[in-house]
Amino acid sequence: MSDPSAEAENLPRHVAIIMDGNGRWAQRRGLPRIEGHRRGVRSVREAVETCADLGLEQLTLYCLSSENWKRPESELRRLLNLLEQFLVEERATIMRQGLRFATIGRREGLTDGVLREIDRTVELTRDNSKMRLCLALNYGARSEIADAARAIARRVAAGELSPDDVDEELFADHLYTSGMPDPDLLIRTAGEMRISNYLLWQISYSEIWVTEKCWPEFREPDLKDALHAYAARDRRFGGLSPQ
């Protein structure tokens, strides 16, 4: 494995990660599922630190999907408590690293404590100038696209827009990710070969890298393997290679 820092010109601007396998990792070891989520926090820290050190523009982590509400209430409650704890405990590190904090997804369903810590961290990091750390919370790409279509339809009905004004750029401006670059690289852990309703619009031309390792096992060398694989790929965006 080579160090992707030596190939800085080929690094992605934006990496998105589906952090899968926390529960399976714990169950294989006879531990409660929530313990897998707790251990996964260490992987989050390493991924954030590595991406920030390499100078990436954005890292987006899939923390809670809109489909996750189907899980047992007790697990969801522990997940939300863990998220609130993470936001409080990591805030000083986020500030020290100069990161900008953001979230995407619907706020409905998140606890008052989680929303309070999200808003506080967003406000405190607003003027930071380094990598944007974005958490996808209560996020579903189909819901995002539906919300964007609904917002545009309201503007058309109000006479602010003509149907002919609606193009890809305007639609993207109404997504949760408005103002953010599309991911160049999508990483998924735990070996699953699916997108799971994550950033469906934004990953149209993203490179995809999958590892069999569950998220609590994912460490800096694994992330650098993914970045090295990305740097070696020929991204044509529907065109032909110069050679």
Print burial letters for 35-69: b (CB count within 10 Å at least 16), e (below 16).
Answer: bbbbbbbebbebbbebbbebebbbbbbbbbbbebe
More confident residue, 123 or 67: 123
pLDDT tops 50 at residue 6: no
Looking at residue 84, what is its pLDDT? 97
Catalytic residue among 3, 10, 20, 164: 20
- Provide the pLDDT for residue 234: 84
Average pLDDT over residues 42-71: 95
For residues 116, 39, 193, 106, the Cα torsion angle rounded to the nearest 10 degrees is -10
Residue pair 57/181 in contact by the 8 Å Cβ criterion: yes
Q: What is the distance between the alpha carbons of residues 186 and 233, in angstroms, rounded to a whole number?
A: 13
Q: What is the pLDDT of residues 154-171, one digit of tens each?
A: 999 999 999 999 999 999
Structure tokens at 128: 């930071």
Q: Within a 10 A sphere around the Cβ of 224, how many other Cβ atoms?
A: 17
Parallel, antiparallel or unpaired: strands 185-188 and 207-210: parallel
- What separation in angstroms does the CA of 155 have from each of 170, 201, 233? 12, 21, 41
Does pLDDT of 2 surpass 70?
A: no
- The vertex-122 CA angle with 119 and 128, nearest 5°, equals 160
88's CB contacts (< 8 A; 6+ apart) are: 117
Domain ranges of the chain: 9-140+184-232
Which amino acid, 15? V
Task: Tell me how many degrees the CA angle 154-106-181 measures, rounded to the nearest 5.
Answer: 85
Q: Has residue 241 got a pLDDT over 80?
A: no
Is residue 23 within 8 A of residue 193, CB to CB? The reply is: no
Q: For 170-208, what is each residue's pLDDT tens digit?
A: 999 999 999 999 999 999 999 999 999 999 999 999 999
Q: 9-140+184-232, what's its fold?
A: Undecaprenyl pyrophosphate synthetase (3.40.1180)
| 60: nearest Cα among 169, 210, 202 | 202
> Is 68 in the active site?
yes
What pLDDT is attached to residue 237? 60
- What does the pLDDT average to over 30-50? 96
Residue 132: how many other CB atoms lie within 10 Å: 19
| 182 has catalytic annotation | no
Task: Find the catalytic residue in 10, 68, 81, 197.
Answer: 68
